Amino acid sequence: MTTHARDKPAIQVAKPIALHAVVIVIGIFILLPILYGVLGGFKNNQQLSTNPIGLPDPWVPSNYTNVLASGDFWVQVWNSSFIALATTFITVGVSALAAFVFARFAFRGREFLFTVFAAGLMFPFAVAILPLFLLLRSFGLLNNPLGVILPQAAFGLSLTIIILRQFFRSIPGEIEEAATLDGCTPFGFFWRILLPMARPALATVSVLAIVGSWNNFFLPLVVFNDPGLWTLPVGVQQFQGQFSRDTARILAYVVLAMVPALAFYAVAERHLVGGLTTGATKG
């Protein structure tokens, strides 16, 4: 008994240390490429060849200032932001309504229909690109932001509905019954009670939708031929092709292209943690 009593605290101490060590190692592997890109953007090509890891000497801020002074960069930031926000609005709005029906209403064929939506997770986007391109062309949506927004929203429905349905089902039925007794309609219950309580889940699916849209490269590349409609991923690829020999300038462009997404994630993370804390307090 004494030996077990001594071993147990040792295990309890060693386990958090091991977990922290794993997290630190993973964090280092994530941060090193970012740090290399940030510092590489302050170098010239000669420094990248002779001193790829060390600090810039001298520092070359013109790589960043030239990109920031470019109108094309800001146009791509606007295009990516508009498409991501529009995609998220449609995806979360439609999915919330569908998840509410799947979670709170009983009707024949409900589980089969939900399974059809869930099966969308197993449908690769690359397989659909050719018929999707033909469909968009027939509707005149090539070189149109809707040609990217609508397919992204459609492909995002499956995961979003699954997440929101599970959260809506966790809301006690007594709350809905009390709202009904107070004269609240089903849509009123959804709008006034269910959605405010679902803020953590809505924040989660919104982050997933925005990040997925922001990082989407294949669909905007296929849909947009007009440089004025390019998103940042497409812009990075085109910039790399244009300045293929200027690696330092490419690194600066890539780093600046990441900044809006990182800034959004920092803000969204606060809202997500705040929503989770609020939900836990109310529970």
Query: What pLDDT digit, counting tens, does each position of 127-137 carry?
Result: 888 889 999 99
What percentage of the chain exceeds 70 in pLDDT?
A: 90
Say what the pTM is.
0.83
Find how far residue 235's CA is from the centre of its chain: 19
> What would the mean pLDDT of 139-147 be, rounded to a whole number?
94
| Beta-carbon count within 10 A of 254 CB | 19
Find how far residue 92's CA is from the centre of its chain: 13
Nearest-CA neighbor of 248 among 68, 69, 76, 62? 62
Query: Greater confidence, 143 or 178?
Result: 143
From 22-26, 88-92, 239-243, the region with the lowest mean pLDDT: 239-243
> What would the mean pLDDT of 180-193 be, rounded to a whole number?
86
The one-letter amino acid at 214 = W
> What would the mean pLDDT of 13-39 be, rounded to a whole number?
84
> What would the mean pLDDT of 238-254 be, rounded to a whole number?
85
Residues 6+ apart with CB under 8 A from 133: 142, 222, 223
Q: Measured between alpha carbons, how far is 271 from 274 in angstroms, rounded to an integer?
A: 5
Residues 6+ apart with CB under 8 A from 247: 40, 45, 48
The predicted-structure confidence for 48-78, as pLDDT tens digits, reads as follows 888 888 888 889 899 899 989 988 899 999 9
What pLDDT shows up at residue 3? 52
The predicted-structure confidence for 79-126, as pLDDT tens digits, reads as follows 999 999 999 999 999 999 999 999 888 888 888 988 888 888 887 777
What pLDDT shows up at residue 282? 45
